[in-house]
Amino acid sequence: MKWILALSLLLSACSSKDKKPCPCAEQVATWSDKGQAEEIKKIIEGFGVQTLFDLSARDIGALQELNLPLNHYIGATTQSDQLEKLRAGFGSPSLTFFNHDLASDPMPEADLVLLWDQLNCLSPSEIRSALLFVKKSGARFVLMAHDGSCTKNHKSKHGEPRPINWQLAPYEFPKPLIEINSSNQRSLALWSCDELP
């Protein structure tokens, strides 16, 4: 089923209703990178993704230009006022929105979880929690920022974003199925959730 995507979540999941957004909220990769967005669309088509859980897409114009072959798009936000606007403006049986905190809330069932670089400003314990939620959700794939040139993973200081190489300790992921390069130097990598450690 093809439909035009209007909008999804507006803020980074590493912020909460009562806290100021961490720097990731302002620096997060979004659908505005048209080349990257088209590659994500190819992944959706190629792997038969029917349901997408998207944690940080924010660009209305860019999303309106995409015609994603999805049955169900799920967007999340950490702010109640934004949630009401999303539901009122764009909610439908195939476009749903809800409040979600990446490190503390279970994830809805979806074929693909699109994290962008939301994990890059979380602590190691928060990252482990979020990844556990991904696996428990029953998702087939996860797509997120990956820096293969990073030679050592460092802890985030005061919520500051930092590059993460998921193939290095303490994560030690297998080689990703696909890597998408970005014009803004960020790359996204796709993993099968069944292969995550």
- DSSP 8-state symbol, 29: -
Question: Could you tell me the residue range of the domain that residue 93 belongs to?
Answer: 24-140+182-195
pLDDT in tens, 105-117: 999 999 999 998 8
- Domain membership of residue 174 (yes or no) is no
The more confident residue out of 94 and 134 is: 134
CB 76 within 8 A of CB 13: yes
Model confidence at 77, in pLDDT bands (50, 70, 90)? confident
- Domain membership of residue 91 (yes or no) is yes
- Domain membership of residue 18 (yes or no) is no
Q: Is the pTM of this model over 0.85?
A: no
CATH number at residue 63: 3.40.50.150
- Domain membership of residue 103 (yes or no) is yes
- Domain membership of residue 171 (yes or no) is no
Listed as own residue / partner, the contacts of 126-135 with beta carbons closer than 8 Å and 24 or more positions apart are 126/14, 126/102, 127/103, 127/171, 129/103, 129/104, 130/102, 130/103, 131/196, 133/102, 133/105, 133/106, 133/107, 134/107, 134/193, 134/196, 135/193, 135/196
- Domain membership of residue 155 (yes or no) is no
- Domain membership of residue 106 (yes or no) is yes
Whole-number Cα distances in Å, 1 to 64, 96, 125: 16, 16, 38
pLDDT in tens, 125-134: 999 999 999 9
Instruction: Please state the domain count of the chain.
Output: 1
- Domain membership of residue 16 (yes or no) is no
pLDDT value at residue 10:
27
- In the chain, the percentage of residues whose pLDDT exceeds 70 is 77
pLDDT in tens, 145-192: 999 889 999 887 767 889 999 999 999 999 999 999 865 556 899 999
The more confident residue out of 107 and 10 is: 107
